Structure 1
Amino acid sequence: MTDQPTTKPAITQAMIKAYDDYTHLTLDRRGFMNRLTKLAGSGAAAAAIAPLLAANSARAAIVPADDTRLQISQVSFPGADWEMTGYLAMPADMSAPLPAVIVIHENRGLNDHIRDVARRLALEGFVALAVDFLSPLGGTPADEDKAREMIGQLEGGETTANAMAARAWLAGHDKTNGKVGAVGFCWGGGLVNQLAVADPELGAGVAYYGRQPEAGDVPSIKAPMLLHYAGLDERINAGIADYRAALKSNGKTFAMHVYDDVNHAFNNDTSAARYNKPAADLAWARTVAFFKGVLN
């Protein structure tokens, strides 16, 4: 008997939209699977497609956690009203203080993918702190659905204050040069925008497909900003025009890039259906160059 080739399930934009509704809006797991079943044609097809839409933690390590070029530690620091925890990565052979970057996670919390992003930044010559913004609720759980539920319980002002505390802690760390930027993805991209509004000491902000701040808050931004958006991300992109106009009219330093024909979360290489390597590589190169140009 001849083995039949395995056919990868076809994933449509409507399926990706259903997943985005599930992870960011009000569609629950059952509603998502019901919609996916209708789109896929059967429950079996939906069951095969769902893991391709979701993130796969097994694919999370581009830079190994035990890479000898890095010094890794679990850290804690005082937040607004409670102790915050995080994952600190820096070059093992650093001979002088380096610029620092806060890495802000998606609405899944601090997971292996975000830790890997911190390690990637450390290899580029930064002290990178991936903060667990779910620390006030006991930390990021293994269950991503639970993590998303917990993210919804966070109070925006307190969360921004915790990001400001992370910036201050990094600025005072003896391994940094006092200059601190922030990069965030999805929920974290939105928090980078809010941090830029709230903290005049932020050195630079990079937001990947993050919710924009209110136009009236833009005058408070002092940090240079680099903004990455996915061309197919209608939900987030609805706020681009107002944000761009406010940044321009207030004379802010910023660069904005929209990557055509890619989806929200295109940078997340653990999500097979939405990851786009050319766009991710280009955005990452721009991000690293931006931080090196502003924070050194």
Structure 2
Amino acid sequence: MTKPEPRQTPAIPEQAYQLYDKYAHGMMSRRAFFASMSALAVNATLATSFINSMLPNYALAEQVSFNDPDISASYQKFAAPNGHGEGRGYLVRPKNTRAAVPVILVVHENRGLNPYIEDVARRLAKAGFIAFAPDALWPLGGYPGNDDDGRQMQRSLEPGKIIADFKAAASWLKQLEGGNGKLGVVGFCFGGAMAGRLAAELPDTVDAAVPFYGSPPPADSISAIKAPLLVQLGELDERVNAMWPDAEVLLKQHNINYKIERYEASHHGFHNDSTARYNEPMAELAWQRTLAFFNQHLRS
């Protein structure tokens, strides 16, 4: 499948990225975001171009087709007795392999299982992993088809139950048929925070974790981490980056196997290829490092 050509837009002001970050994380309403973005432009046409470039276009984010011959994808349910009772997610397996392979839990952003995250799961399967991406919104019917409603839905759920659902998914995947008994976690934004948290709270379940631009695990849980961590941060993501120096002190203090990579000229969300925040060379570098990290720690 031929990937659509990226949208051609004028140079986007730095402030636009800051506005989108606030909007995407519930610190600004849609109306306020549109008004503020319009104020950055000299005319309505340019304002529309700025806004359209920042909002996700998921047609741009499909790197691996759902019917790619090298993978097999389906939706599967799992028990979550300490969470919402039942979870559901997108399971993708590589075809044409008889050997057991590592399993990767993919954790979405703060808006549910959108097409970008499903594509990330397919990319992992193409690389020879079993990937499973749960939808935190399943108790409410699942991802609604747009990110605005998805954010509202996710905010309406009890955080403790969401955490319990992802813990249940991790435990289920650790025993998954076809898996080699090794479990990795990769997550983005909210999912990045969840990846670190699962490593801290399920130290005997998670064997490697790659948080992309998420907040660190709670300080009092860092000492419990056993899994190696690869932390992926955008150089221009001031909000998240400010959270990591104190956490890094604790990681060093407790002799955690970790590495923090910072990607130049990259904003929060730089791996998400559905918006203008996408930094293709840095995203590709981060992804290749992610695959190498999982291969190193999950296949031995």
TM over 0.5: yes
Structure 1, unpaired ranges of 5+: 1-5
Contact conserved, 1:63 with 1:120, CA < 8 A, in 2?
yes
Note if 1:81 corresponds to 2:84.
yes
Which one of 199, 216, 223 corresponds to residue 202 of structure 2?
A: 199
| 2:14 corresponds to 1:13 | yes
Residues 1:61 and 2:65 are matched in the alignment: no
User: Contact between 2:9 and 2:53, CA under 8 Å: does it hold in 1?
Assistant: no
Deviation (angstroms), 1:35: 0.7
User: What's the TM-score, normalizing by structure 2?
Assistant: 0.93
Q: Distance in 2 between matches of 1:287 and 1:94?
A: 21
Pairwise mapping of residues 65-144 of structure 1 onto structure 2 (< 5 A)? 65-79=66-80, 80-144=83-147
Structure 1 contact 160–198 (Cα < 8 Å) conserved: no
> Partners in 2 of 1:157 and 1:220 — Cα distance?
19
Deviations 1:212-259 (A, max 9, x none): 122222112121111000010011111010111111111101111111
Distance in 2 of aligned mates of 1:233 and 1:7: 24
RMSD (CA atoms): 1.4
Match of 1:75, SS?
strand
> What is the identity, as a one-letter code, of the residue corresponding to 1:233?
D
The separation in 1 between residues aligned to 2:237 and 2:99, in whole angstroms, is 41
Structure 1 residues 20-51: Cα deviation after superposition (integer angstroms, max 9, x where no partner): 11111421011011111111133332222111
Q: Deviations over 1:144-172 (max 9, x none)?
A: 10101112123232222111111111111
Q: 1:107 to 1:93 in 2, by over 3 A?
A: same
Extract unaligned runs of 5+ from structure 2. Answer: 1-6
**Misfit runs of 4+, over 3 Å:** none
Say if 2:9 and 2:49, in contact at 8 Å, map to a contact too. Answer: no
2:109–2:188 Cα contact (<8 Å) kept: yes
Q: Which residue of 2 aligns with 1:39?
A: 40
Q: Which letter does structure 2 place at the counterpart of 1:221? A: I
% identity of equivalent residues: 41
Query: Could you tell me which of 165, 173, 176 is aligned with 1:173?
Result: 176
Aligned partner of residue 47 in structure 2, secondary structure: helix
1:7, CA displacement in angstroms? Answer: 7.5
Work out the CA distance in 1 between the residues paired with 2:59 and 2:111: 15
CA distance in 1, matches of 2:47, 2:9: 12
Query: Could you tell me which amino acid in structure 2 is paired with residue 248 of structure 1?
Result: K
2: CA distance between counterparts of 1:81 and 1:25? 23
Structure 1 partner of 2:212: 208
* Residues 88, 128 of structure 1: 8 Å contact kept: yes
Quote the Cα distance in structure 2 between the aligned partners of 1:243 and 1:206: 15
Query: 1:40 is paired with a residue of what secondary structure?
Result: coil
Instruction: Find the aligned partners of 2:41 and 2:228 in 1 and give their Cα distance.
Output: 44
3-state SS of the aligned residue for 1:217?
helix
- Equivalents in 1 of 2:41, 2:86: separation in Å? 45
State the Cα distance separating 1:54 from its structure 2 match: 1.4
Letter in 2 for 1:164: K
Give the residue type in structure 1 aligned to 2:199.
A
Distance 1:277 1:10 in 2: 16
AA in 2 matched with 1:51 = N
From 156, 160, 165, give the equivalent of 1:157. 160
Paired residue secondary structure (1:213): coil
3-state SS of the aligned residue for 1:168? Answer: helix
Larger deviation, residues 196-205 vs 155-164: 155-164
